[in-house]
Amino acid sequence: MKRAQCIKLAKLAAANDNAALLGELREIQASGDACKVNSWSYHATRLADWLGDGMTGNAPFTIFAKGNSKLPFYAFSALPLVSCPGMGACAKFCYSLRAWRYPAAFFRQLQNLLLIKQAPDMIADAFAKLPVAATLRLYVDGDIDSAETLGFWFDLLRERGDVAAYGYSKSWHVFLKYHADHGPASFPTNYRLNLSSGSRYGNDVAKRMETLPCVRGAFVAVPSTVKQLKNGSNWRQYAASVRASALATGHGRVFVCPGKCGTCTASGHACGLGSFTGKTIAIGIH
């Protein structure tokens, strides 16, 4: 399915236009073999049947996906772009759009956006079933779209103090509004936020964000002349390139992200560690 069609579905979901969205899904269903597992038609049928039944019963896709070798934690995602009110330059290099090559990944993001906007209780039920002491990345794809959504997540995290949650966000005005409305004491202690580069906000807003109790520090993407190899054999060259680029672009000294969560320190992943508060973490883009 072409990206333009994916964006059309995303906009319909963001607008809560279920009738038009259902019609588009049925067209995708009819355009291929709905019995061919993992095809666009197959997964569109699953989502369309659930949506047509009023989003009742079990969600067709796992709400909190268990990670893989690159991200070994539980994760929640929604559709990028339409759920990202703080996006700026990041729209030009958004890695989340790469996932749209895979039907199941795209429709899971679409389903979760619908749940956030229309049936958050289903998310709450799934959240309550996460294992004890689970590590959770909130929003691998997409972002927190409103102060109401942020409040929803914070309420859940306060109920499950054993869950260690972290994330990356460019929706800085959402966090600042929540802070203004509820105060610092309302922020759950088991959530750490990384300020993601590419936001449409400037340094003044970034400095205000740094004062919030949930903020660990900045996570920036910088140009790299060296592409990191999957086997890690050129790690030193890659890390040196990222450090040099970070210095050249005004970020100062940085800790280089290896790209595989949970492998960067012996104590755990830097993005979720209190000991890394105030430190800038960088990753290379090329």
pLDDT of amino acid 96: 82
* Per-residue pLDDT at 185 exceeds 70: yes
pLDDT tens-place string over residues 11-32: 999 999 999 999 999 999 999 9
By C-alpha distance, which of 11, 40, 38 is closest to 26?
40
For the chain, what percent of residues have pLDDT higher than 90?
83
Question: In terms of pLDDT, which residue wins out, 90 or 272?
Answer: 272
The structural domains of the chain, with segments of one domain joined by +, span 62-213
As a whole number of angstroms, the distance between CA 114 and CA 14 comes to: 8
pLDDT of amino acid 19: 98
Do 217 and 278 contact (CB within 8 A), yes or no? yes
pLDDT of amino acid 95: 74
pLDDT of amino acid 67: 76
Q: Name the token pair of 197.
A: 């580069």
pLDDT of amino acid 183: 96
pLDDT tens-place string over residues 204-218: 999 999 999 999 999
Helix axes 172-182, 147-159, angle to 10 degrees: 70
pTM given for the model: 0.92
Work out the number of other CB atoms within 10 angstroms of the CB of residue 214: 23
Classify burial at 152, counting beta carbons within 10 Å of its beta carbon; exposed 0-12, middle 13-18, buried 19 or more: middle
pLDDT tens-place string over residues 98-121: 888 999 999 999 999 999 999 999
pLDDT tens-place string over residues 152-173: 999 999 999 999 999 999 999 9
pLDDT band of 71, cuts 50, 70, 90: confident
pLDDT of amino acid 69: 66
* Per-residue pLDDT at 89 exceeds 80: no
As a whole number of angstroms, the distance between CA 165 and CA 60 comes to: 24
Q: 84 by DSSP, 3-state: which?
A: coil
Lookup result for tokens 């279920």:
18
Q: What average pLDDT score do residues 233-239 get?
A: 96
Helix (H) or strand (E) holding 237: helix 235-248
By C-alpha distance, which of 147, 95, 115 is closest to 285?
95
pLDDT of amino acid 79: 94
